[in-house]
Structure 1
């Protein structure tokens, strides 16, 4: 079954472009983004990998590790990395998993359990469900799942925005409204009573409805 928010992120061992890893050990006390690709040498994924490499410092600043996944073997990863650098102007600066046995893809519910054989004999269309983004917290729980079609490039600026929200709301009893950007007002969580809110926000809050309590971001 596909993973959803709140599930344990499956642990695994896998070969990557930066060596073999144990996923949970690799995450450590950080946040992590795992994002998958149907096959190497696909045009939309090439732009995504390059763009993410160009903004990796923004993930680093938030304590977030990045790791990609494709079913191709490592030698293909190395060739694709060259193409990414040459066409996108940014070299890979994060690991790319070689999931040739489909074990990680299956564990994360992205491919059916009966998929097997030579991954290089499968087309990108056959692996179309490998277009996921998972944000995983330091507690190794899934915090966000995004699934994109093959024809639409992923918006990693939005992933950063969600991470900003996740990290803020993990430390404070608040939630972020539609179109929220860091620094903008937030909403007091429904789990917080008015009495509790008065202790935290002695200056009060804006409440167009009793259940909609708006305060400045903590």
Structure 2
């Protein structure tokens, strides 16, 4: 079954380089970012894992756990982390799922049900396992992004999107294009003008359907 925004993520039990975890228990009351890769010891993925490691303080500030996924084994993950840490200049302390049976990749709709790992495979065999999922504390998918192998992911954008999601989570708010933390937010149409001003103070009404409020605390 396809996974869509607002769906509850599958509660899989998976093996990682830091031991076995069950996804819902691992997420707990935190936000989570799951980011996947088609193969260990590949150049773009190594830089991406390094970028995630360098942002460890930023994830912590946002009460967010990060989980890597690759379809190689725990032993390969452990060896690869040495390369990642050498390039990044910091510890890669987050776990990496060893999705050798493609269970997570298929459950998260990154691969079709009939997919398998052929002998002598290359990253191209699992090229679609290059996604980012942001998951809320209620275990639902809030955002999905998928990148080709040739384009490294921008984790500054992942952080920006995470900030926007946390700002608007379970509130009648949205963020405009190119929004950054601290900027004005959009009031949802579920509130009329009077209710919007009662809740958020004076609103800046650009159009009947486009109303801004100061970024509330």
**Shared topology, TM-score over 0.5?**
yes
List per-residue Cα deviations over 1:57-82 (Å, max 9, x = no partner): 10111000000000101111111011
Tell me which moved more, 169-178 or 67-76: 169-178
Equivalent residue, structure 1, for 2:213:
215
Native 8 Å contact 1:176 1:186 kept in 2 = yes
Equivalent residue, structure 1, for 2:97:
97
Equivalent residue, structure 2, for 1:64:
64
Secondary structure at 1:78 match in 2: helix
Secondary structure at 1:121 match in 2: coil
Name the CA distance, whole Å, in 2 between partners of 1:54 and 1:109. Answer: 28
Secondary structure at 1:167 match in 2: helix
List per-residue Cα deviations over 1:157-185 (Å, max 9, x = no partner): 11111111111111532111000000001
Q: Would you say 1:6 and 2:39 are equivalent positions?
A: no
Q: Would you say 1:192 and 2:191 are equivalent positions?
A: yes
Q: How far has the Cα of 1:201 moved from its partner?
A: 3.5
Name the CA distance, whole Å, in 1 between partners of 2:170 and 2:3. Answer: 24
Equivalent residue, structure 2, for 1:110:
110
Secondary structure at 1:79 match in 2: helix
Q: How far has the Cα of 1:117 moved from its partner?
A: 4.8
Native 8 Å contact 2:163 2:181 kept in 1 = yes
Name the CA distance, whole Å, in 1 between partners of 2:27 and 2:138. Answer: 10
Native 8 Å contact 2:38 2:71 kept in 1 = yes
Name the CA distance, whole Å, in 1 between partners of 2:147 and 2:185. Answer: 28
Equivalent residue, structure 1, for 2:157:
158
Equivalent residue, structure 2, for 1:81:
81
Q: How far has the Cα of 1:195 moved from its partner?
A: 2.5
Name the CA distance, whole Å, in 2 between partners of 1:2 and 1:154. Answer: 23
Native 8 Å contact 1:51 1:90 kept in 2 = no
Equivalent residue, structure 2, for 1:30:
30
Q: Would you say 1:146 and 2:117 are equivalent positions?
A: no
Total equivalences in the alignment: 216
Q: How far has the Cα of 1:121 moved from its partner?
A: 3.3
Native 8 Å contact 1:134 1:143 kept in 2 = yes
Name the CA distance, whole Å, in 1 between partners of 2:170 and 2:100. Answer: 38
List per-residue Cα deviations over 1:116-149 (Å, max 9, x = no partner): 356x732101110000000001111000000001
Secondary structure at 2:122 match in 1: coil
Structure 1 segments unaligned to the other structure (5+ residues): none
Q: CA RMSD in A?
A: 1.3
